[in-house]
Structure 1
Amino acid sequence: MRRHKTQDGHPPGQERWLVTYSDLITLLMIFFIVMYSMSQVDANKFRAMAQSLSITLGGAAPSAVNLSETQAGDSFIESGSTESSTSTGQDDQQGVEQETTPSEGTGQGDTDYQESLTIEGIKAKLDQFAKENGIENKLVSSIEERGLVISIQDTLLFNSGSAEISTNSRAILKKISTVLSASPNYIKVEGHTCNLPIHTAEFRSNWELSVLRATNVVHILVDDGEIDPLRLSAAGYGEYRPIADNSTEQGRITNRRVDLIILRSKYDLLEPGSSSSNTTTGADSNGNSSN
């Protein structure tokens, strides 16, 4: 039997190999594109992505903050290196230092990003601590433009109309300070009250009460938490910086608080005595201005 031919004289299906050939060429092109893109990996972006994944999965930025927990219970929060890290050899230590040192070409944007990762890591640990101890409504942290704001309700630290910190409150502040010590940033402690007036033999007004409460918290952070006092400052705002409506009882409870603010490093210039402000004013090593 004679084979049928198409109108142009070629047997049917003779050019099907062109389809397979074009598919093969396309796959090769995709393969080389992928190989090229893999050879252009940005080391800084890769490191930032790894740190971001670490934060998302419940950790903190490995090169910026090292926070650990103990077993279930009172969830003591620790920072700094462990005994195992101190027992490693000199070569390992040099390797870690090289890994955590910003590479050449990194700018202020990379520094800000690293700082943001540290702040997010501290916030995650504080939120976890508050949840484990059932005080998430009295210990609230939030990230703002100026940095991390940790609001502690006054009832968690003080009795009504008092600035004395109880023993249990000292333990809570010590655990908080352990987390805060992981960051070298300046810390502002701000005392706030509601608008209910106070006039006692100890406190003439809410100004005095808010200032003394902030100052007492600073003493705990220095004495028990061992935070460098050069990083700390205290301020009292009385009832004049509310964050809720003072016309309601719940609003007044919210306003009676002590805020701990981990300032972003870009605000170091505003802190008197900082290296940035000394450089700007032309102060010498003895603190004397050259102007």
Structure 2
Amino acid sequence: MKYPKKKGDSRKDEGSAGGGWEVVYSGFVLILLCFFIMLSSFSSIKEAKIMRFVKSFVESVSILPGGLSADGDAAVMPDSVDMVDIKSPLAQTHANLKALAEGIRQRNDVAVSYSPKGLVMRLSNHTLFDIGEAAVSPQGIPLLKKIGSIIAATGHEVRVEGHTDDVPIKTARYPSNWELSTARAVNVLRYFIQIYRIPSERISAEGFSRYRPRVPNDSPANRARNRRVEIVFINPDIAGRPVEGGP
């Protein structure tokens, strides 16, 4: 025999069903709160990564006495990483890097700066090579030794980039500036691998010919600035990604 429900039971059922939307709504609000907390933390996470990169590099180059000025000029870097804005050139973060360019600063042949891709160490071609040649010259070996010791002391990915000016070259060995710039980068890479046993998966080489100039090729002085090798300590945030903006 079936008995009709009491009115009290009916109100109880309706109350139970009606409270369900509150549970769903509370869960939705909680999810939104977590989402916005994650968004706000992304910027601080990225900043922390950059700071770890800077600190690890600074600690690794403590093998060098003295320091290095930004872009090879007379500006002196502060001694403490905490004093430096992360967005400023990495060359200004530690005085120990200054020794690398101390002996050749007046010729402005070595410069260090920090870019979004990482630490960039820029070397004029005539400090490493004879004109029209890709073999590292004897006078370039001492400089590569200092740089090689830094690379060996770090765990960062490194890329060696070769650049020329817009004056064409055409020889049996180097039909164009593409071959010359690439051969120079590869020879520097080979030196680091052979002498300092840098793991091959950590280092790469690229040649850009005349297509990545620093300044317009409109004077002998500017052409000399564009003839260079750049050694890039890759920012860990972009390590492993393809190079953007090909020539």
TM range (shorter): 0.5 to 0.7
Is 1:161 aligned with 2:132? yes
Single out whichever of 257-266 and 223-232 deviates more from structure 2: 223-232
Structure 1 pair 62–232 and aligned structure 2 pair: CA distance change class (3 A)? closer
Structure 1 pair 178–206 and aligned structure 2 pair: CA distance change class (3 A)? same
Q: Counterpart of 2:119 in structure 1: which amino acid?
A: L
Could you tell me how far 1:133 is from its partner in structure 2?
4.6
C-alpha distance in structure 2 between counterparts of 1:66 and 1:146, whole Å = 19
Could you tell me how far 1:181 is from its partner in structure 2?
2.5
Is 1:228 aligned with 2:199? yes
Q: Counterpart of 2:154 in structure 1: which amino acid?
A: S
Task: Give 5+ residue unaligned stretches, structure 2.
Answer: 1-47, 67-83
C-alpha distance in structure 2 between counterparts of 1:213 and 1:204, whole Å = 14
Alignment partner, residue 68 of structure 1:
63
- Structure number with the bigger relative contact order (C-alpha 8 A, sep ≥ 6) is 2
Is 1:181 aligned with 2:188? no
SS of 1:211's equivalent? helix
Structure 1 pair 210–161 and aligned structure 2 pair: CA distance change class (3 A)? same
Structure 2 counterpart of 1:259, from 194, 206, 230: 230
SS of 1:230's equivalent? helix
Task: Give 5+ residue unaligned stretches, structure 1.
Answer: 1-47, 72-112, 273-291
C-alpha distance in structure 2 between counterparts of 1:66 and 1:196, whole Å = 36
Could you tell me how far 1:167 is from its partner in structure 2?
2.1
Aligned residues: percent identity?
30
Is 1:214 aligned with 2:209? no
Structure 1 pair 269–210 and aligned structure 2 pair: CA distance change class (3 A)? closer
- Conserved in 2, the CA contact under 8 Å of 1:193 and 1:206? yes
Could you tell me how far 1:64 is from its partner in structure 2?
4.2
SS of 2:126's equivalent? helix
C-alpha distance in structure 1 between counterparts of 2:228 and 2:106, whole Å = 14
Could you give the per-residue CA deviations for residues 147-184 of structure 1, whole angstroms, max 9, x where no partner exists? 01111000000011110111231221011111222321
Could you tell me how far 1:69 is from its partner in structure 2?
4.0
C-alpha distance in structure 2 between counterparts of 1:261 and 1:134, whole Å = 20
Structure 1 pair 178–159 and aligned structure 2 pair: CA distance change class (3 A)? same
Point out 4+ residue stretches in structure 1 off by more than 4 angstroms: 60-64, 119-124, 133-136
C-alpha distance in structure 1 between counterparts of 2:208 and 2:64, whole Å = 35
Structure with more of its chain in helix, by fraction? 2
- Number of residue pairs matched by the alignment: 174
Structure 1 pair 155–254 and aligned structure 2 pair: CA distance change class (3 A)? same
- Conserved in 2, the CA contact under 8 Å of 1:123 and 1:141? no
When normalised by structure 2's length, the TM-score is: 0.61
Q: Counterpart of 2:221 in structure 1: which amino acid?
A: Q
